[in-house]
Chains A and B, each alone.
Chain A
Amino acid sequence: MIEVRDLTKRYGDLLAVDRVSFTAQKGEIVGFLGPNGAGKTTTMRIITGFLPATSGTVTVEGFDIFDDAHEVRKRIGYLPENPPLYSDMTVTSYLEFVGRIKGLARAALPEAVDRVIRRCGLTEVTRRVLGHLSKGFRQRVGLAQALIHEPGVLVLDEPTIGLDPRQIREIRSLITELAGERTVILSTHILQEVVQICRKVVIINEGHVAVEDQIENLTRDMPLEEVFMRFIGGGRAAAEEATA
């Protein structure tokens, strides 16, 4: 599980994330929504320990990301917005490398690599060089990389961006399958995706959490798009009214 409390990130004068709090329970897929520049990627980078927070705390499976960063890193699988691929490596050698730096024993490597290759549908491209793969396969390798050490928590930053409709559907069903006992946070712009695979939604706008709720509560009276526009547009309109 992930617990984010009063998370704040400042870049000089710019307040990118402002006292963001939310939780994601075990076995829950949380959709992380918000317009571009709302602070989604920054929040995810802080949760995964890539960036430090200015203030606030995050605990991942009971470990604090600042004090126990090492423990947290062992337990998180992270797919950044651009899959972190070495374009000159083959799929297999890349996954072996990631497995090693994620702390897998050498003896356990072949099995782990084999498992994620099958799971992410990479069997036919194992010997291909990453730089020559199509966008869809690159995304899948990105997912495989996040899964190789069987992490309890998955953080996925726009996992379906730039894919064609068929690939989007494949990745979605893959994520649903993977969830199981894991905690998953995924950010996206596709609202439909959230309705299909997430149980809970966190909408973030201009660095604030606009709403955090179960999806069925939010979509009881209106479609999610309506909800989204209300919290995003509403927030800005209200602020403009106040300053006017």
Chain B
Amino acid sequence: MKNILAIAAKDIRSQFVSPIAYVVLTGFLLLGGWFFFNLLARFNFLLQLYLQFRNPEATQRLNLNEFVIAPLLHNLSVILVILVPVITMRSFAEEKRSGTYELLMTSPLTVTEIVLGKFLGAFVFVLVMVLLTGIYPLILVLYGNPEAGVILSGFLGLLLLATTFVSVGLLTSSFTENQIIAAVSCLVTLLLLYVISWPAETAGEVMAAALKYLSLTEHFSELVKGVIDTRDLMYFGSVIVLALFLTQRSVESLRWR
């Protein structure tokens, strides 16, 4: 545990002294703010419109959770697909390129400790990212009356999604010493998991179910709707564990005869 923390602390420090962290955080919040502002403006516009037409039924259907928070979370998740690979691309690739990999691998550390340390370091970063976006629902809670439970469930979903991205990013970073290759292959894998359920509507029944099960979006959507189902939690949990396990194998393979 001590070793895991040492590596995580080192990685977090080096993230925050490099400009990448600030560029990523700024970009994320800037885009997030833009989405939030526009969604809220549209909500406001619709509200005014419905009030003018004195349509109480439609006005009833308007709610902050469905019209602002849910689309905001979906938009943020797409941005994460692009930004998380930028965070994780360094983790192993940079150590390999700069030669510090030799230090790690010849120190009395187990490969599991190295992988978990790297994972924890990157997780703390995405946790900061997700927490910072908490400002948007906070504004809604202060000036409106959204349902807090649904918001929390949605942000839990966003965090789980980001953590899954991190573990996939670590895996692709462990394959190469080139950060660009690490980032691009992570991005492609994530996008693939994102859109894998697209042919589900035309595919056969079994195939459709399988594709939908594999899709990140399907599970994420459930959480955004406020449905915390163990099946979705299990899905994210298993992808994270699987990716970390493969990372461990990939790093360990250097030590195989």
Contact = CB atoms under 8 A, between A and B. Distances in A.
Interface stretch (B106-114, B126-134, B141-149, B226-234): B106-114
Contacts of B98: 84-87
Contact of A101 (B14, B17, B109, B257): B109
B10 interface: yes
A54 interface: yes
A98 B103 contact: yes
Interface size on A, as a range, is 20 to 34
Interface stretch (B1-9, B39-47, B237-245): B1-9
Interface stretch (A32-40, A71-79, A192-200, A210-218): A71-79
Interface in B76-124: 98-110
A90 B22 CA distance: 20
A80 B109 contact: no
B109 to A, nearest CB: 6
B257 A89 contact: no
B7 to A, nearest CB: 7
Given A50-B105, A74-B108, A98-B103, A86 B3 contact: no
A48 interface: yes
Contacts of A70: 108, 110
Contacts of A27: none
B109 A88 contact: no
B18 interface: yes
Interface string A102-135: 1100000000000000000000000000000000
A22 to B, nearest CB: 20
A100 interface: yes
Given A51-B254, A100-B3, A82 B99 contact: yes
Nearest to A53: B257
Contacts of A54: 257
Contact of A84 (B6, B7, B102, B256): B102
Interface string B244-257: 00000000001111
A97 B104 CA distance: 11
Contact of B108 (A86, A89, A102): A102
A63 B105 CA distance: 18
Interface of A: 45, 48-54, 66, 69-70, 73-74, 76, 78, 80, 82-89, 93, 97-98, 100-103, 145
19 contacts: A50-B102, A52-B255, A52-B257, A54-B257, A69-B255, A70-B110, A73-B106, A78-B106, A83-B99, A84-B99, A84-B102, A85-B100, A86-B98, A89-B10, A97-B6, A98-B107, A101-B3, A101-B104, A101-B107
Given A97-B10, A101-B108, A101-B109, 18 more contacts: A49-B105, A50-B102, A50-B106, A52-B256, A70-B108, A70-B110, A76-B106, A80-B102, A80-B103, A84-B98, A84-B103, A85-B98, A85-B100, A86-B10, A88-B17, A89-B13, A100-B3, A101-B107
